[in-house]
Amino acid sequence: MSDVLIQIVASGLTVGAMYAVSTIGLSLVYGSLGMLNMAHGAVLTFGGYIAYYIITTLGLSPLVGAPAAVLVGAALGLAIYVVAALPLLRTRAFETSVFIATIGIGAVLENLMLKLFGAYPLPQPLAAPGGIIVGRVHIPAQNILILVVSLALMALVAVLLQRTRIGRAVRATAQNREAAQLMGVRVGHVYALVLAMSGALAAVSGIMVSSLTTLSPTMGADPMLKAFIVCVVAGLGNIYGAVVSALLLGLLEAIAQYVVGVRFGFATLLILVIVVLIWRPYGLFGRRQVVRL
């Protein structure tokens, strides 16, 4: 029994940490721009493919591949800002339009990858070999690496947001765009930075997700859907709530997979989420927003 427990906790935490990394980016963007980035999954997949291309096809070191993937992810995030968010920012129905526009951008990216790399699943070369034994359970080193990298990244984002000048600008913009602008915050720069960061985080999470499964052009859809769910459960835009919810949901999914079978793990999770939302429409950690009419 305790072996099963260790197994569930180990896989739940790994998966949860992975969700957390892809969710932070999404949540950061929603929190500061009020923009739901539907191209997030495609950026995530792109990161995974860039790492594959540099390491396997070009034969370069993973120490080149991983940072390059992160840079490309950031560049894609920036491109989404310039192409979609910037021209739509002043329009009346920003939320609706940017949502639809990013669905289109996501479709373009996804099918571009399909053209470039083919539909055949590819292995992610960036993986750590070996593992450790806890009790009688084998835990792959890759899982531990993912957990450590995720925690480090989350700490980095937290420090950036809480301790730096630019982090303060991001938080100020998220709280009130006009007030921040009046205080001399360059809101445009903040938005660009946030989308670039979100792209970089998505790339990292793409490498991690593909190292546990395989690379395929549609691989990003599943982590993006889960990141959305985490966001919704936590309350959109609430980053710390997102981290807690991601870990919780990872564990819950692992338990559900053990109890009702792998096939229905995700479905069970979703039903739970729907119940949570009916009970608390603004998410577990979201505060009820008072709308001034």
Partner 1 sequence: MSAASRRDLVVGLLLLAVAVAIPFVLTTRYIVTQATLFFIWAIVVTQWNLVLGVGGIFSLAQMALFACGAYAAALLGYYLQVPLWLGIPLAGLVTVLVSMLVGLACLRLRGPYVALLTLAIAQVIYIYIINDTDCFTNPPSGCMPLFGGVRGITKFGELGFRDLFGTKFYVANYYLTLFILLLATLFSIVIIRGPMGLAFQALRDNPGYALSRGISRFKYQLWLFALSAFFTGLAGAVYAANFRAVGPDVFSITLLLFLLSMIVVGGLGTIWGPLLGAAALMLVDEGMKEFSDYRNIGLGVILAAFVILLPQGLVGALAALWRRRRSRA
149 binds partner 1 (CB under 8 A): no
Judged by CB under 8 A, the residue of 13, 33, 68, 84 near partner 1 is 84
Q: Which of residues 165-194 bind partner 1 (CB under 8 A)?
A: none
Q: Does 83 help bind partner 1 (rule: CB under 8 A)?
A: yes
Residue 107 in tokens? 């479709």
293, two tokens: 């009419």
Q: Does 108 bind partner 1 (CB under 8 A)?
A: yes
Please report the beta strands in the chain, taking only residues with DSSP state E, as ranges in sequence order. 131-134, 137-140
The interface region with partner 1, picked from 8-16, 50-58, 69-77, 220-228 by CB under 8 A, is 220-228
On whether the CB atoms of residues 24 and 154 are closer than 8 A, the answer is: yes
Q: Which is nearer to partner 1, 158 or 248 (CB)?
A: 248
Q: Does 247 bind partner 1 (CB under 8 A)?
A: no
By CB under 8 A, the count of residues binding partner 1 is 47
Phi-psi region of 235 (alpha: psi -120 to 50; beta: other; left: phi over 0): left
> What's the length of the chain?
293
Contact call for residues 245 and 253 (beta carbons, < 8 A): no
Residue 288 sits in the site that holds partner 1 (CB under 8 A): no
220: how many CB neighbours lie within 10 A of its CB?
30
CB 6 within 8 A of CB 134: yes
Q: Assess 100 for contact with partner 1 (CB under 8 A).
A: yes
**Can you tell me which of 62, 71, 75, 95 binds partner 1, judged by CB under 8 A?**
95
Tokens standing for residue 22: 């892809």
Q: Which of 5, 64, 91, 156 binds partner 1 (CB under 8 A)?
A: 91
Please, are residues 255 and 269 in contact by the beta-carbon 8 Å criterion? no
Buried b (16+ CB within 10 A) or exposed e, 159-178: eebeeeeebebbbbbbeebe
Could you tell me which residues are beta bridge partners of residue 131? 140
Choose the stretch contacting partner 1; rule: CB under 8 A; options: 49-57, 104-112, 146-154, 170-178: 104-112
6 binds partner 1 (CB under 8 A): no
Binding track over 33-72 against partner 1, x by CB under 8 A:
---x------------------------------------
60 by DSSP, 3-state: which?
coil
Q: With binding defined as CB under 8 A, does residue 266 bind partner 1? A: yes
Phi and psi torsions of 289, nearest 5°: -85, 130
Q: Does 148 bind partner 1 (CB under 8 A)?
A: no
Least Å from the CB of residue 38 to partner 1: 9
| Residue 202 CB-density burial (10 A; 0-12 exposed, 13-18 middle, 19+ buried) | buried
Q: Summarize as ranges the residues that interact with partner 1 (CB under 8 A).
A: 30, 36, 83-84, 87-88, 91, 93, 95-108, 110-112, 114-115, 221, 225, 228-229, 231-232, 236, 263-264, 266-267, 270-271, 273-274, 277-278, 281, 289, 293
